[in-house]
Structure formats: C-alpha cells, structure tokens
C-alpha cells in the first residue's frame, strides 16, 4: 500500500469528562482518499473521538491536525474555512426539522457560496440523486422520511459543499441489512467518484468488510489495532479477537475467506 | 486556488472552448456566469468542443456546470464534445449525466389572497378543533380520575409529589415577589389619586378587595400558565416526539393516567395554595406602601382591613383558583399531545398553550364575576 499523506493527524490526544478519561493519549492518522472505519465497544469513545476532531468536544491534551492545519492554532475565520472543507453525517441525521430536504441540502450552499437559486436547486437535486433520493422526496420534511431516507438526505447535506473529508457517525445504525448494504455501497461509490476521505465510526461488521479500506480499533482509550481487515483477523488483542472472530464476526470472516 | 477560465474561439462552424482554473464550489458563482455567457456566444456555430485540460480542480459543481453546458448545446440539435478530462474525473461526469433529467417538482405556489382567506378560515376551524380537543381532554381526565377513585392504589403519588415540588413549592418565591410588587404599585396609585379627595384610607379598601377577589388569583394563574403550563407542554411534547408516550401506551399504561392526571391535579391543588400565599404577600406589600408612602400606620391599616373585607371576598378568590388550575393544566397537556415531529411544532404548541390558557383564565374570571354578582357574593 502506498503511503499517502495523512489528512487527519492526531497525536497524544486526551479527552475526558469530569474525572473520567475517555481517550487516553491516542495517536491516529487518517490518510488521503481512504475509508477508515473506527470500531470499539459501546462507550469506548468512538463518537467522542469523532466529535473531538470536528470540535464539539474539547480536548485536554495533544494535537489534532486536519488538512495540514493544527486545530489548536486557528482563529475563528480560519476555522470556518476549514469546517467548509469537511462534512458530517450525524447518527440521527440531524436534519433541520423546519426545512424541507431540498432546503436542508441547500442550507450550507446558501450560507457559503454566492450562486444563483437555479444552480442551487440543480445542485441540491444532483446531490439528492447521487445519494439515491428521488426529486419527489426533495419537498418532503424530515419528519416524513423513513430512517434510510433520513440518512441519505443527511449524507446529501454533508456532501453539499463537496468536502474533502466526510465524517460518518454510525451511518448504517438503525437500517435494515439491505438498506445498510446499499448505504455501504453508496459510500464506497461516492468516495471513489468524489475522491473524498471518509472517517467512519461504526458498529457494523458488514460495513467494515465491504466499505472500509482500513480499520482502527479503539479500546481502553487507545487505538489497539489498525490496518486492513486481514490484520484484524490476525490480531491477538482480546477485544479485537472476540469482535472479529466471535459468533457474528467469525461468520463474516469465513464467508470472506471462502469467497 | 486560481480563478476560473473559459475562453472561446470560433473555428469555422465549431466553437472551441478552453477551460482552466478551479471548477469547484468556491468559484461556482463566477463559473455559472461564464457558462451562461458562453451559451449565448456564436449562435451560428454548429458544434462545440470543450477542452478541459487546463482545469486544475474539479468537483460536482464544476461537473454539473459542464454537463449543463453540453446539455444546452445538444438540446438544440448541435454537437458537444468534451476533451482533455483527466481519467479520474470521468466517473464524476458520468454521475452528473444521470441527474436532473426530469424537472424537479416545483413547490406549489398559491394565490396570496386565497392563502390569506384560507388561513382565516383555518384559524376558525382550528379554534373549533381546539374546543373539541379541550373537551376531549377534560373527559379523558375525568375518566381516569374516576378510575383512580375506584382504585386509589393505582394513583401515581411519587409523580404527584415531584410535580407539586416543581409547580407549587419552587414557584413560591417568584409568586410572593410578583404579588408583593403589584400590590405595592396599586396601593401607591390608590393613595396618590385618593389623596386629592382626602380619602387615602379608602386605598386600603381598594387594595384589599381587588387582591382578594381578582388580582391575587389572576396574577398567580397567569404566572403559573407561563411557568408551569409551558413546561407541561414542552415536556409532554418532547416525550411525544421521542415516542415515549407511544411506549407507555403499548405497555398497557394510559398516558392520561400516568402523565396527565397527576400534573393536572397538582395544578388544581397548587393554584389555591399559591393564591393564598400570593394574597398574603400582596396585602403585606400594600400595607408597607401605605405606611411608608401614605403615612397610614400598620395598626390603622389592619383595622381598616378588617372593616373593608369579609370572608366572602376571600372565598370568591379561592373558589376560582382550582378551576383556573384545571383550565391551565388541561390546555397545556392537550397542547403537549398535539406536538408533531418537528422542533418548530414544539415551539408552536408551547406558545399556543400559554396564549390559550391565559385567555381562558381571563374568560373564566369574567364568567365567575357574572356568576358571583348574580348570587350576591
């Protein structure tokens, strides 16, 4: 594997709440153009890690560099420019409930770009069609969407400004296996056509097999294993072993080997 | 980052476009203007070739504008060729070929005049609906009250105590302060105006009767509607949004009995208590101002007070209080259950709850005034 530039670089990162430490001197790189899957038990700090990178949770110690910019050293304006270069898909979608799907996708465009309403409409429809929604869905309100459609609409909004990095927080949670599979494939295709880097927090083993280039396992506040799926199957760490070779993981691993 | 370029040159019947710079979201505005200008260029040209070799950055915005340009040419039966596109961007172009093929359904726009009339009509119908919902909620509460009377063990005492703490106990300081201040002001105004006739002493009658019959209970009801009614609506609304109420129902609980009955009963009990305390504070405030501003000593104030008021005045105020609590509770809970999925609807219903309950409290007060007058209280 060719070593590409790291677009996100975390060094010695420590995050905690009160007297509880969630991330304990963690080092992790996300390389350009890859889909990194972050896994870990419930409460291992996967979502906290994601929220720390995008700046929603303060860190106690360490450094985070995104797209070559140290997040601790930026001023407000630089930070906003940087935030325009990434998109976030929240676990519950976090669509604005008082706006239609189309307006949700247009929201970042309207705030950040000076383009005509016509182009904005066309781009919103283009993004929606790219994530597999129909023009009829565009005028619906978030409360009228199914779980899968909400995730797709939220992904379209995350992609609105053609970001370089997309953060996905459990993109397939709450979806049926077929929709989840479709969603994995969608992420894969979009990543290839748009050449984006994807940082994905997930629980879904299937996603790890089908969508991710590289996997990082979080346990005890640290990255205990990282690498492609083959490395995971060889890992000796007890949690990694149980996760990938346990009842559910083992089945997928066998299928992968036989295929 | 560089600026966007799109230069054109006419070669016989072929228009040759050379693109350059960043065809990205950041420059989408300029890019769109360029693309539109080129479309009008050289109407005599039969076909167009677009050379993308000079483009440094390219994203979906650029890809779509390129696609829009070629579509404009091919639609009028002319030929458009794109050359010089890097291999890895072909997928993006391919993706764009498939989008925006059917016109997006436009959001339906109606005549604003018709809309205004429709809104007026709808407001009338909604008012009727609200009355029906109010009656429905009152009925549901009575039914679960009946059930609780038959099976007192099912009553949620813990929840009631907790709500009583929030609605009554924690409201005491603010209620005392507000009624104290309002009556101090009324007392000051009374003394100021009665002084012209040398009738300062009658300001005590004014303060006492007003507080016990009307102001005390009204102020408390309005405060409680704003303080606890709104929080009932927001609480129940958020529970509705997160399907907690549906969960209760599927577990075989009646949400009216579990959530609504304790809240409404608490209000029915809390309002008289708060009115009583509020009236005390009000009389105290009135007396303090009468002493400091009007020179009416506390002894005279108290003597005057016992002349001016009778138990009837006190009863009139206290009888109204539980009914006002009932109205506030029923309106607030009904509004909470009407919340739909969006945050906007939660805000709307909370507003509705406060506005309607204050309105109904005042209407009710008017009805009571007529009633008490006709029975001679």
Provide the residue range defining the domain that includes B37: 5-97
Q: Name residues whose C-beta falls within 8 Å of residue A200's C-beta, 6 or more positions apart in sequence.
A: A35, A36, A37, A38, A167, A168, A171, A187, A207, A211, A212
Asked whether residue B119 is assigned to any structural domain, the reply reads no
pLDDT digit of tens for each residue in chain B (377 aa)?
457 677 777 777 777 777 777 888 878 888 888 777 776 766 677 777 877 777 777 788 888 888 888 887 777 777 778 877 777 777 777 777 777 777 666 667 778 889 899 999 999 998 898 889 989 999 999 999 999 899 888 788 888 999 999 999 999 999 999 999 999 999 999 999 999 988 888 899 999 999 999 999 999 999 999 999 999 999 999 999 888 888 888 888 888 888 999 999 999 999 999 999 999 999 999 999 999 998 999 999 999 999 988 899 999 999 999 999 999 999 999 999 998 877 888 999 999 999 999 999 999 999 999 999 999 88
Contact check, Cβ <8 Å, B32/A115: yes
Q: Name residues whose C-beta falls within 8 Å of residue A161's C-beta, 6 or more positions apart in sequence.
A: A84, A85, A87, A108, A109, A112, A113, B25
Q: Which two tokens stand for residue B317?
A: 């105020």
Asked whether residue B207 is assigned to any structural domain, the reply reads yes
| CA-CA-CA-CA torsion sign (B326, B142, B163, B357) | negative
Q: How far is A171 from chain B (nearest CA, A)?
A: 20
Task: List A31's β-bridge partners, or say none.
Answer: A6
Q: Which two tokens stand for residue B121?
A: 């009509």
- Measured between CA atoms, the residue of chain A closest to residue B102 is A135
pLDDT greater than 90 at residue A215: no
Chain B residues inside the 8 Å CB shell of A162: 24-25, 59-61
Using beta carbons and an 8 Å cutoff, which residues of A are at the interface with B? 97-98, 100, 102, 109, 112-116, 119, 121-123, 125-127, 129-130, 135-136, 138-139, 141-143, 159, 161-162, 192-195
pLDDT greater than 50 at residue A43: yes
Asked whether residue B319 is assigned to any structural domain, the reply reads yes
Interval A99-152: pLDDT, tens? 888 888 888 888 788 888 888 888 888 888 888 888 888 888 888 888 888 888
Specify the length of chain A in residues.
259
B237 and B185 in a single domain? The answer is: yes
CB atoms within 10 A of CB B178: 18
B92 and B157 in a single domain? The answer is: no
**ipTM exceeds 0.90, yes or no:** no
B41 and B144 in a single domain? The answer is: no
Three-state secondary structure call for residue B44: coil
- Rounded to the nearest 5 degrees, what angle is found at the Cα of B119, between the Cα atoms of B118 and B121? 65
| CA-CA-CA-CA torsion sign (A191, A197, A200, A205) | positive
Q: How far is A244 from chain B (nearest CA, A)?
A: 34
Q: How far is B99 from chain A (nearest CA, A)?
A: 5
- Cβ(B222)–Cβ(B358) under 8 Å? yes
pLDDT, chain B, mean: 87
B304 and B193 in a single domain? The answer is: yes
Contact check, Cβ <8 Å, B342/A138: no
- Rounded to the nearest 5 degrees, what angle is found at the Cα of A245, between the Cα atoms of A243 and A251? 110
In chain A the domains, ranked by start, together with CATH numbers, are: 6-85+163-258 (3.40.50.300)
Contact check, Cβ <8 Å, B342/A114: no
Contact check, Cβ <8 Å, B60/A123: yes
Asked whether residue B175 is assigned to any structural domain, the reply reads yes
CA-to-CA dists, residue B346 to B290, B351, B352, angstroms: 45, 9, 10
B20 and B150 in a single domain? The answer is: no
B157 and B77 in a single domain? The answer is: no
Res A203: pLDDT = 81
Q: Which of A81, A125, A166 to mutate to test the interface with B (most CBs of B within 10 A)?
A: A125
Contact check, Cβ <8 Å, B100/A130: no
Q: Which two tokens stand for residue A153?
A: 């609409």
B161 and B47 in a single domain? The answer is: no
Number of domains in chain B: 2
Using beta carbons and an 8 Å cutoff, which residues of B are at the interface with A? 24-26, 28-29, 32, 59-61, 64-65, 68, 88, 91-92, 94-96, 98-100, 102-105, 107, 340-344
Confidence of residue A1 (pLDDT cuts 50, 70, 90): very low
Task: List B49's β-bridge partners, or say none.
Answer: B16, B81
Alpha carbons within 13 angstroms on the beta-carbon side of residue B22 total 9
Q: Which two tokens stand for residue B154?
A: 């099912």
Q: Which two tokens stand for residue B203?
A: 């300001």
Which position has the higher pLDDT, B272 or A78? B272
Last residue of a domain, one of B40, B62, B97: B97
Asked whether residue B237 is assigned to any structural domain, the reply reads yes
Give the span between the Cα atoms of A131 and B159, in whole angstroms: 47
Q: Which two tokens stand for residue B215?
A: 């102001």
Among the partner-chain residues B68, B98, B341, the one whose CB lies closest to the CB of A143 is B341
Residue of A203, A200, A184, A205 whose CA lies nearest to A247: A205
Q: Which of A85, A95, A186, A193 to mutate to test the interface with B (most CBs of B within 10 A)?
A: A193
- Measured between CA atoms, the residue of chain A closest to residue B61 is A123
Give the span between the Cα atoms of A107 and A98, in whole angstroms: 12
B347 and B209 in a single domain? The answer is: yes
Res B1: pLDDT = 43
What is the DSSP pairing of strand A197-201 with strand A165-169? parallel
Chain B residues inside the 8 Å CB shell of A136: 105
Asked whether residue B183 is assigned to any structural domain, the reply reads yes
- Rounded to the nearest 5 degrees, what angle is found at the Cα of B67, between the Cα atoms of B65 and B70? 110
Residue of A139, A98, A150, A138 whose CA lies nearest to B341: A98
pLDDT greater than 60 at residue A2: no
Interval A6-39: pLDDT, tens? 888 888 888 888 888 888 888 888 888 888 888 8
B347 and B225 in a single domain? The answer is: yes
Burial of B77 (0-12, 13-18, 19+ CB in 10 A): exposed
Burial of A49 (0-12, 13-18, 19+ CB in 10 A): buried
Res A76: pLDDT = 82
| CA-CA-CA-CA torsion sign (B66, B68, B70, B72) | negative
Residue B33, domain CATH: 3.30.750.24
Q: How far is B32 from chain A (nearest CA, A)?
A: 8
Contact check, Cβ <8 Å, A113/B64: no
């Amino acid at each position: 594997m060719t070593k590409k530039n790291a677009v996100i670089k975390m060094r010695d990162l420590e995050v905690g709440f009160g007297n509880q430490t969630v991330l304990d001197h963690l080092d992790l790189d996300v390389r350009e153009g890859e889909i990194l899957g972050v896994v870990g038990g419930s409460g291992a700090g996967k979502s906290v890690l994601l929220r720390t990178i995008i700046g929603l949770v303060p860190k106690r110690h360490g450094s985070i560099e995104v797209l070559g910019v140290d997040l601790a050293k930026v001023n407000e304006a630089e930070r906003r420019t940087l935030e325009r270069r990434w998109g976030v898909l929240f676990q519950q979608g976090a669509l604005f409930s008082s706006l239609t799907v189309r307006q949700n996708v247009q929201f970042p465009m309207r705030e950040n770009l000076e383009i005509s309403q016509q182009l904005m409409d066309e781009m919103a429809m283009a993004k929606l069609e790219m994530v597999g929604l129909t023009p009829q869905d565009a005028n619906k309100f978030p409360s009228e969407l199914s779980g899968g459609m909400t995730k797709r609409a939220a992904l379209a909004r995350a992609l609105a400004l053609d970001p370089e990095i997309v953060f996905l927080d459990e993109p397939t949670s709450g979806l049926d296996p077929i929709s989840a599979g479709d969603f994995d494939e969608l992420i894969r295709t979009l990543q290839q056509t748009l050449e984006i880097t994807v940082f994905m927090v997930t629980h879904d083993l299937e996603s790890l097999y089908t969508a991710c280039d590289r996997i990082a396992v979080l346990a005890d506040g640290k990255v205990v294993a990282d690498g492609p799926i083959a490395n995971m199957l060889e890992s000796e760490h007890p949690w990694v072993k149980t996760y990938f070779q346990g009842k559910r993981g083992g089945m997928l691993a066998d299928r992968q080997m036989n295929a | 980052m560089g600026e966007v370029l799109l230069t054109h040159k006419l070669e016989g019947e072929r228009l040759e476009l050379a693109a350059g710079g960043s065809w990205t979201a950041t420059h989408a505005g300029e890019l769109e203007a360029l693309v539109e200008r080129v479309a009008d260029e050289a109407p005599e040209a039969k076909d167009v070739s677009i050379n993308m070799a000079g483009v440094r950055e390219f994203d979906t915005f650029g890809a779509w504008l390129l696609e829009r340009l070629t579509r404009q040419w091919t639609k009028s039966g002319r030929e458009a060729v794109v050359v010089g596109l890097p291999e890895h961007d072909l997928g993006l172009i391919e993706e764009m070929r498939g989008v925006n093929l059917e016109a997006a359904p436009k959001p339906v726009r109606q005549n604003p005049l018709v809309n205004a009339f429709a809104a007026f009509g709808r407001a009338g119908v909604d008012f009727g609906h609200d009355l029906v919902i109010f009656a429905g909620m009152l009925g549901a509460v009575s039914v679960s009250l009946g059930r609780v009377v038959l099976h007192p063990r099912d009553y949620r005492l813990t929840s009631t105590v907790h709500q009583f703490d929030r609605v009554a106990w924690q409201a005491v300081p603010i209620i005392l302060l507000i009624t104290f201040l309002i009556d101090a002001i009324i007392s000051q105004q009374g003394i100021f105006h009665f002084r012209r006739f040398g009738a300062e002493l009658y300001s005590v009658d004014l303060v006492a009767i007003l507080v016990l019959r009307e102001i005390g209970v009204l102020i408390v009801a309005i405060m409680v509607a704003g303080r606890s009614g709104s929080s009932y609506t927001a609480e129940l609304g958020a529970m509705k949004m997160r399907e907690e109420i549906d969960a209760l129902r599927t577990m075989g609980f009646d949400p009216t009995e579990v959530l609504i009955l304790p809240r409404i009963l608490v209000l029915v009990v809390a309002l008289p208590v708060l009115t009583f305390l509020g009236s005390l504070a009000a009389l105290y405030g009135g007396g303090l101002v009468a002493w400091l501003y009007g020179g009416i000593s506390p002894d005279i104030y108290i003597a005057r007070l016992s002349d001016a008021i009778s138990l009837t005045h006190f009863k009139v105020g206290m009888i109204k209080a539980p009914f006002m609590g009932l109205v506030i509770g029923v309106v607030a809970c009904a509004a909470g259950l009407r919340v739909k999925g969006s945050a906007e609807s939660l805000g709307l219903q909370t507003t509705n709850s406060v506005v309607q309950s204050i309105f109904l409290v005042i209407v009710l007060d008017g009805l009571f005034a007529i009633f008490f007058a006709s029975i001679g209280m």
